[in-house]
């Protein structure tokens, strides 16, 4: 639950894209308040991942602005953002496969190694399974375990804002549910979280507020509960199957 109404991340009319002349985001806006869990859903190609990458300084921004705690961070590079307390877990290639789990976690605090012991306790408290396997190479882990290492590494830097790109992708139903519960726990520990998800139903169940992206624009927004029962969202994005 949001602790107060202070906006932490504000995205204002963002226009961004990869190829010259082709915009993926066409004036997209979003706001995440202190301690909120924000979901981003929408059809294939709506620009969900691009929005996360744009916030994290990995896509060229053509127009609009992004601010963090009132400070303009538009176009700031990823390393500068990590220093300011933003963490990101990409969808693919999110671990160093040839390093051990321990080394992967160390990479998370390379900018401030003094934090290591303290943060390690916190991360292993969340991901108990990793404790026994710290010396194992990360490349030998299954998809669900890799996801834990990736999230753990992002949390090592003690982020105030966490960006997650499809934490449940490619996992079987039981692993997906575990991933969502973990995300919820991380958020409840006080980390403002912005999560992109294909599994819209699960995402809406745990998030405080959500944005539905369509063709690079935030088409709808509301609390997770409102969107779960909104007939338009159900028809277009959730489908009528299931609960």
Contact string (CB under 8 A) for other proteins, positions 44-83, x = contact: xx--------------------------------------
CA–CA gap between residue 31 and residue 171 (Å, rounded): 29
- Count of beta carbons in the 10 Å neighbourhood of residue 24: 23
Which residue of 185, 189, 190, 232 would you call a contact of other proteins, by CB under 8 A? 185
Residue 178 interacting with other proteins (CB under 8 A): yes
Shortest CB 75 distance to other proteins, Å: 31
Which residue of 184, 215, 219, 226 would you call a contact of other proteins, by CB under 8 A? 184
List the beta bridge partners of residue 7: 33
Which residue of 26, 58, 136, 205 would you call a contact of other proteins, by CB under 8 A? 205
CA–CA gap between residue 212 and residue 43 (Å, rounded): 9
Strand residue runs (E) in 60-137: 61-68, 71-72, 86-89
Q: Which is nearer to other proteins, 134 or 236 (CB)?
A: 236
Residue 239 interacting with other proteins (CB under 8 A): yes
CA distances from 173 to 169, 177, 179 (A): 10, 6, 10
Strand residue runs (E) in 111-206: 161-165, 192-196
Q: Which is nearer to other proteins, 139 or 239 (CB)?
A: 239
**Would you give the end-to-end CA distance of the chain in angstroms?**
24
Residue 142 interacting with other proteins (CB under 8 A): yes
Contact positions vs other proteins (CB under 8 A): 1, 43-45, 142-143, 170-178, 180-181, 184-185, 188, 200, 202, 205-206, 208, 224-225, 235-243
């Amino acid at each position: 639950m949001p602790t107060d109404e202070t906006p932490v991340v504000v995205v204002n009319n963002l226009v961004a894209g990869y190829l010259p002349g082709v915009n993926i985001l066409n004036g997209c806006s979003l706001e995440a308040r202190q301690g909120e869990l924000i979901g981003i859903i929408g059809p294939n190609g709506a620009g969900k991942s691009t929005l996360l990458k744009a916030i994290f300084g990995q896509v060229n921004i053509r127009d609009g602005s992004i601010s963090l705690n009132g400070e303009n961070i538009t176009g700031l590079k990823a390393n500068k953002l990590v220093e300011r307390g933003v963490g990101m877990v990409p969808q693919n290639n999110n671990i160093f496969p040839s390093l051990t789990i321990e080394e992967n976690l160390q990479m998370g605090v390379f900018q401030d190694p003094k934090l290591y012991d303290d943060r390690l306790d916190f991360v292993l408290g969340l991901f108990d399974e990793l404790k026994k396997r710290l010396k194992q190479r990360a490349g030998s882990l299954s998809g669900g375990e890799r996801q834990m290492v990736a999230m753990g590494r992002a949390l090592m830097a003690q982020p105030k804002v966490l960006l997650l790109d499809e934490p449940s992708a490619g996992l079987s139903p039981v692993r997906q549910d575990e991933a969502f519960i973990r995300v919820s726990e991380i958020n409840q520990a006080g980390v403002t979280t912005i999560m992109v998800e294909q599994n819209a139903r699960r995402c809406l169940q745990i998030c405080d507020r959500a944005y539905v992206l369509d063709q690079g624009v935030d088409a709808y927004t509301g609390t997770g509960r409102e969107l779960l029962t909104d007939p338009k969202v159900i028809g277009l994005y959730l489908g009528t199957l299931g609960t």
